[in-house]
Amino acid sequence: MIRKIFFSSIPILFLFNLLLVSAQDNTNIELLDIEKNKITTIPTNSKVQLETKKIIEEVDGIVKKFNPIPNKGYLVKIPLTQSLRLENKWVNTLIDEVFIIIPQEEKPYLLIFDNEHKPYFFTIKTEIDPLLKTLTFPF
């Protein structure tokens, strides 16, 4: 009986291990051209991670729009290689990925999800040009 349980659990453990490995491999940065609805991907690197961390540390307010996703512009999804703690007067959470929203006619801002998958849209006081240069996307 124990032997049957042991041998029947091996495939389950194997599948669980595959899921963990595939989840850790998702380190590509994704750029969505909102108007064209086209996604481009590139692998992340340490420069991108450093610039993203600087941007997260410069959160200074909340986006106060009814519909914060623009009709024209870009959305950049950056998975973080190490989770970062974002602690301010609006949220206290660990984040695994950051979305940078770059509207065509406005300043960029961030979209972050907390532990309960609740979205937060934040304004930032730093420039994102150093990050955009590291990404080498055709903006």
37 located within any domain:
yes
Helix (H, G, I), strand (E, B) or coil at 50: helix
Alpha-carbon distance 133 to 138, whole Å? Answer: 10
Q: What is the pLDDT of residue 131?
A: 86
Q: Report which secondary-structure segment, H or E, holds 56.
A: helix 46-57
Q: What domain range includes position 37?
A: 27-135
Q: What is the pLDDT of residues 100-135, one digit of tens each?
A: 999 988 899 999 998 888 999 999 988 888 888 887
pLDDT at residue 66 tops 80: yes
Overall number of domains in the chain: 1
102 located within any domain:
yes
Q: What is the pLDDT of residues 22-62, one digit of tens each?
A: 444 568 999 999 999 999 998 988 899 999 999 998 888 88
pTM of the model: 0.77
7 located within any domain:
no
pLDDT at residue 1 tops 70: no
Q: Count CB-CB contacts under 10 A for residue 19.
A: 10
Alpha-carbon distance 52 to 135, whole Å? Answer: 11
CATH number of residue 35's parent domain: 3.30.1490
Q: What is the pLDDT of residue 7?
A: 41
116 located within any domain:
yes
Please name the residues in contact with 119: beta carbons below 8 A apart, sequence gap of 6 or more. Answer: 111, 112, 113
Rounded average pLDDT over 6-11: 41
Alpha-carbon distance 73 to 81, whole Å? Answer: 26
pLDDT at residue 21 tops 60: no
Q: What is the pLDDT of residue 27?
A: 81
